[in-house]
Amino acid sequence: MTDAFETSIHIDAPPQEVFDHFVRPELLVRWMGEYARLEATAGGLYTVDIDGVLIRGEFVVVDPPRFIEIAWGEAGNEIMPPGATRLTIELEPTARGTYLKLTHAGLVEPEAEKHAFGWPIFLERLAVAAPGGDPGPYPWTNEPGSAKP
């Protein structure tokens, strides 16, 4: 059975700045991952290494600064191989910044549970990074045996 995880957050930065944090490698790794190679055009490469998890896929739709769709998966993961799920990011301007809606569709257990845990953590980090702040280390970095997304 497949499932979709949806969440939203307000970010105190303009939509273009938030958008850039999804498509520019040097900005993406400020809040998610240690390495990124991104070709932010339809059919372009999406490669992000997140704490040992090798996310692989491609950009499906890139509509600055409003919408991004990514075919998302994990290298070596049989139940969620590269490109197997769809991540969509919708950005709307607000009086104070940006309303971001994230939908990650096509997730199966246990991936749905892991992503429901991880995405809120990463989006909170983005909410700090996009306006220019330092989100610091991942919250589980110094906690032996703690759960990771």
pLDDT of 147 above 80 = no
Mean residue pLDDT across the chain: 92
Is residue 32 within 8 Å of 50, Cβ to Cβ? yes
Backbone angles phi, psi at 101, to 5 degrees: -115, 125
pLDDT one-digit tens code per residue, 36-47:
999 999 999 999
Q: Which token pair is 135? A: 């989100």
Domains of the chain by range and CATH? 3-129 (3.30.530.20)
pLDDT one-digit tens code per residue, 69-125:
999 999 999 999 999 999 999 999 999 999 999 999 999 989 999 999 999 999 999
Residue type, 6: E
